[in-house]
Every structure is written in structure tokens, then in C-alpha cells.
Amino acid sequence: MSEPREERYTHGLSRRELLKLIGMASGMVITGPISAHGGLGSLWRRQPVVPVDEWHKGVCRFCGTGCGVMIGVKDGRIVDVKGDEYAHNKGRLCIKGILNRDILYTSDRALYPMIRHNGELKRATWDEAMELIVARFQEAIQQYGPDSVAFYGSGQLFTEESYTANKLFKAGIGTNNVEGNPRLCMASAAVGYLSVFGKDEPAGCYEDIDHADCFFITGSNTADCHPIIWERVMDRKRAHPETYLIVVDPRRTRTAKHADLHLPIYPGTDVALYNAMIHEFIRLGRIDQEMVQEYLTFRRGEETVTFEALRAHVQKYSPERVADLCGVPADLIRQAAYRFATARATMSLWTMGINQQSQGTAANRLLNAMHLLTGHFGRPGATSFSITGQPNAGGGVRDTGALAHALPNSRLVTNPEHRAEMEKLWGVPPGTINPKPGYHTIALFQAMERGDVKCVLCFCTNPGQSLPNVERYREAIRNTFFVAVDAFHPTRTTELASVVLPAAMWTEKEGVFSQSERRYHYVPKLVDPPGEARSDLEILVDFAVRMGYGDLIRARTPKEVWDEWRQISAHSPYNFAGITYERLKKERGILWPCPTEEHPGTRRRYLPGEDPMAQGNRRFDFYGRPDGRAVVWLHDQEPFQDPTDAEYPLILSTGRIYEHWHTMTITGKVPALRSVHPEWLMIHPLDAAEYGIQDGMEVIVKSRRGEQSFRAWITEEVRPGVVFTTFHSAKRLVNRTTADIVDPFSKQPEFKRCAVSVRPQEGSETAYEG
């Protein structure tokens, strides 16, 4: 069968293979669109080095790997980007990292404020736009109270920006309606860590990759979505071929193709699988008894139970009992459990495939439990590591507490002591912070739909494309006074907004990102933003002052905000008071905790002698928990909330590809990537035959919520009964079909599983040839 997404060039490499090869190389630039049918001018080729006046250290704008880059500037423009050989990525960059050099100069940058008049966005001055925004917010607050307004942010804002917004809305305006797109990607990981260890964020670091001799990669196509982390895994495998790689994924992805053992699980059945693996750990006698007796406690809901209760619980999850549900043969489950438990050091890596489920929190808790129970924790190479999707979802949103239920450094708005601490630190009267959590993301857009939320400030994200069941919430955006602050226009959100404000991005402003291993690092301002665009911090400060909160928001430059924030952190186990701008400008990032300017940063948490927050001389100090013990949670596999049936017999799952990122607002307009169109739907040959589908045919994917057309890609990369597409395309909105079901603990939506039907589109009878 044909594989239209793996076209071959004349030199024998596929488009994707070529991109990856070039992404790892140096001195290579793109000369034109990527085409399987063009001549030499359409290929990547070496060119003379671009003249550069100055090189500056920085960080990639894209995923949560947080690769160090060297940024070349000439005549006030970014002209080249290369990997920083002294950073953790050792000079490597993927294709998106290389193309950081082009993202500031695409044709669709937002250049000036716009206000909607009679259904059309019209150019306005900054004063006109800000006066209107402030008037509408003040009117709503006066008439309906502070919970009638909201902030919706992003894991792509700098930490200084998210911190300022959170402080303004919670300690100033008086609402906890502070949300953001990390609710869509990392909330289950955050709740998982918080409920197991008492504090959020991974305990390990990238260096653990260099010491693991077993990798358990689940819910992550690391090779395509975090390719530089993947290359480090491959370095370990190349240097130590005995290193064992287990991949759990419904698709035979590029990651899975490298696996020693691939478990092609049905989406949404991870809880059953991990219970089965724990069953095997116990059966094999591979439980770390010291951990059980000294460092763990066991919970079923609100009830504290014993290890024997866990033993009894997993009896119903033997490999034979879960094999049909998971779609994985029992012997493969046993092999995975044996390899995981008996390795010298096992490292788990996961991301959205685990988090974006209605049982995402349960799956995260069980992944952590697998490490704790077997003792694969707190040693070089032994750790449970959730990879972040965005460049600052961890430091900017999770750490600052910029979500509706949270306050900085893992504090909660429902906790009176936590509220009192933050009121004192922020210098506001007792009782200022509302004890009631705000609306989580899906609830927020439903409140907009009802008219309960009147005004929203939305920064650096695209909910008009990225939300599940998106048509419902696009209508809610239309009917709300919605301010979209973005570097790009039009997007599927700015096209709906009441006001659009142009934002600076990346090196057009300065600030701090934090990536997956708790490494804070600095992005310098190197060039001016286009047109009338302003930094997000400048916009927030202007809004705060006009709203009358100038006395609260006294820190108004990135450095001033960072200095305030790091001193706030000193009153928590997150303590990174020692991470100053001066250090960040010199060093290749620093891992927190880092309490003093002399401290080198912390590779592994909860270890006395290594983690400065850990006390005593025992093996571990789980200082986030009142009893000093990490929690192993007992969870059952729950029934599916959007089950397959005769009308909707297939499971749809969504994700990313190597070349693009999120909703393509950035990568979609980069010239080098314009010809990469992720508008296909992967379907297995058996399903295609059953439903009369030919390769390349236009098909309709229909769910209980809506439908969308795609081009069929018949491939054995997906298993029978499962179809897959990306959420990248602004033209073909897969989120018209996805479910707005949320995890009961994290409130994260279930993007990875919904029931659909697939049928040929009327009039589509021939296969796609191009």
C-alpha cells in the first residue's frame, strides 16, 4: 500500500528522515519548500555561513525539552540559530529548533491593536483598545462581581508574565478564574506528582537518561515530539546495547519501531496495564520491602490502607485478565514487568498520551507507584519522569500556581494557611484571596457559554482550535468580551475575539523559561518586535495600572518580577532564591531547588545530602508529605465515558508530528514547513477495507459531538480499531469530534480517546496522488 506521508526523494531518504538528519547536523539551511517532486533547489543543501554580528546564548521557543541555542544577530534581526554545545542538548537541535531563526519574520504577525466593530476587526490605537478593555472589565466586576472576569494563559508565556497575571487576578481583582492551556496538557502529571509526593514536578533529571539500563516509554512518541531527549536515549542505547527499551503506544510510531518490546495498548486502558504490572512485581517478589515499610503509605480514595490491600487489589488485574481489554498479550505484559523490575535502573518517560485521559491522574499515580514499589527511584537512572509539552508550562504555570485551584509553589486556594501565607507575601489584607477555586478550563468556557463569565483576557494560546468539542466553545468565545493577545493574526481564536492585541515573542522580549527537568533558563531580548507589538508583561502591567492595581503590581520589568518571584519561592520547598538573572545570563540554566547564589542546583529531589530541602540522613525525605511518606494510590480501570458501539465503532486518538507544533500558529507559516500538511487520518488496512476507504480518499470522521473531513492514510502504523490524526491543522479541526470529558481530579480533557465512525466523503472516489 502507498504511504503518502513518507514520500521518497531522489537520494533515497524520506522527507521525514531527511528532516531529522538535517536537524542533527550543523551548518545546514533550507533553500525552499520541501517537495518530493522538485529538483535540487527543493532539497536541503549546505550554503555559505550567514554573516553574523553577534552570538547570544538563549533557549528554544518550542517544546518542554528546553534546548540551549546560540542566536546570531545582524543588523537588528535574528539571522541564524544553532545548538549550544555547552547546554544539556550538546549542540543538537531538531528542525523546529533550527527554524527558530525564521519564526519572528512570518507574514502573519499581529502588528497593531484591533477592535471588533459591526462584526469586523478594525485597527485601533493602544489607548483606544486598553480603555475599552478596562471599561468592560470594570463594568462586569461592578455589576456581576469579580468572578465574572477571567484570565486564560499559556505555558508559552515567560514566568514573569504568568506570575504577574496570577498575582493581579487573585490578590487584586479577587477572582481565582486564572487558567491556561497547561490544563490541557500537564494537569494530570501535576496532580499525580502533588498527590504522591506532596509537591509537583519530576524528582529526576535528564542526566538520569545516561545511567538507565531500562526505559519504559509510555504515552509518548518521544522520537517525534521530543527528539533531542530521544537522541539522548539513543546515545545510551548505542553506548550500552544491552539497554532495554519498552514502548507502550497504540501506534507503531518511530519510537515504537526502535523498541525491544512494544505494547500496542488500546487508548485509555493504561490503569489496567499498570495494575497488571504491579501484580507481576508482587508475584515475582520484586517489591522493595524497605520502601514499603519505611517510606510509603497506601491510599484508596480517602481511606488509608496497607500493602496487603494493594496485593489483594491487583489480583483482579493479572495479565491474563487485562489482555483483551488492553489489546496486549499477557506474555508481553509479563515481559515488560520483568524487565522493568529486574533492571539495575529503570527510567519511565511519558507525556500527553498518559495525561490526556479521563483517568490521567490515576495513570500518573500508578506510574509513580511502579517506581516506588520496585525501588527504581532516587538513584542515577532510576526515576519517573513526565516530559513537559510547552517551553514553560512547569515554571510559568505549575510553579507560579497560575491555575484556578492553585497558589504559588504547590499551595492551594482551599487551604486557609496557604492563602494566609500568600496574602502576607503579596502584602494584601487577610481574606483578600477567595477561598473558592475558580473555573477550570472546560468549566470556564462553559461559564462563558452560560454568560456567567463576561470578560476574558487570553494570552499566547489558541483555544478556538485547541479545546475539545471546539465548536461549542468557539460559540462561547464569540458571545463573550474576549481579548486575544497574540503574536499572530489571524488564528482560529483571534478571528472570534472582541479585541486583538499584538504581542512580542521569544527574543523580542526577555524572561525565564523552565523545562521538564526543573531547569530555569534565560531568554534575552535581542531584537525589537514588529509594528506596535508589546511584550505580554508590558500589556499586563498597563492593564493592572489602568484597573487601579498599580500599588500591587510594583515589579514592572522582567528582572524586577523575577527578583520578587524568587524571593517568594524562598518561603517554600521550591526555593530557587539563588537563581538570579546574573547567574542565568552566564550559566546554561540551573535546576531548582537552589536556595543560595552559591548552590549549584539540584539534580535529584528528596535525597538528603543532594536536595537542600531534604533533612536527616535516611534514604529519602519526602518532605512534601506530612508523614514524610510518598503515597501509593489504589485505582481501578473505570468504564469508558465515550464508548464504542455499532454507530461509533472506532477509537480516535490525536497527537503531533515531528515537523509541526501545537496549532501551527508558529510553524504553519514558516516557509520551510509550509508544504508539510498534516491533514490525514491514519487508518488500518482492515478497517479501511471494512468501510470502503481507499488510500488518499477524503473521509468523514464523525463522533457524538461533530464531524470533520480528512484524507485517508492507510497504514499498519495504527492497530485495527484505532484511527489517528494530529491536532495541528487549522483547516481540519479534529477537535470538532473530541470529547470534553475531564479527569475527575485534574480536570484535564480526554483528547486521546473518543468513539467515532469513518466513512468515505460523498464524491470522493479516487486515491490522492500528490
Q: Is 747 an annotated catalytic residue?
A: no
Q: Is 199 an annotated catalytic residue?
A: no
Q: Which of 60, 67, 70, 186 does the annotation list as catalytic?
A: 186
Q: Which of 94, 352, 613, 664 does the annotation list as catalytic?
A: 352
* The three three-digit cell numbers of residue 395, written as one number: 515554571
383-386 and 346-350: which strand pairing? parallel
CA distances, 684 to each of 7, 128, 266, 688, 722 (Å): 19, 54, 14, 6, 8
What value, to the nearest 5°, has the Cα angle with vertex 638 and ends 200 and 700?
95
Q: Is 389 an annotated catalytic residue?
A: yes
Q: Which of 58, 192, 378, 389 does the annotation list as catalytic?
A: 389
The phi, psi pair for 8, rounded to 5°, reads -105, 135
Q: Is 511 an annotated catalytic residue?
A: no
Do the beta carbons of residue 481 and residue 498 sit within 8 Å?
yes
Residue count of the chain = 770
d(CA 47, CA 79): 14
Do the beta carbons of residue 370 and residue 348 sit within 8 Å?
yes
Q: Cell 491533514 maps to which residue?
A: 679
Q: Which of 67, 94, 130, 185 does the annotation list as catalytic?
A: 185
Q: Is 214 an annotated catalytic residue?
A: no
Q: Which of 20, 57, 96, 170 does the annotation list as catalytic?
A: 96
Task: From 717, 719, 708, select the one nearest 758 (Cα to Cα).
Answer: 708
Q: Is 20 an annotated catalytic residue?
A: no
Helix (H, G, I), strand (E, B) or coil at 455: strand
Q: Which of 390, 515, 637, 748 does the annotation list as catalytic?
A: 390
**607 Cβ partners below 8 Å, 6+ apart?**
378, 614, 620, 621
Tell the burial category of 38 from Cβ atoms under 10 Å away from its Cβ (0-12, 13-18, 19+): middle
Peptide bond into 593 cis (omega under 30): yes
Do the beta carbons of residue 186 and residue 386 sit within 8 Å?
yes
178-180 and 214-218: which strand pairing? unpaired
Alpha helices per DSSP H over 530-637: 536-547, 558-569, 581-586
Q: Which helix (H) or strand (E) holds 324?
A: helix 319-326
Among all residues, which ones are annotated catalytic? 96, 185-186, 352, 389-390
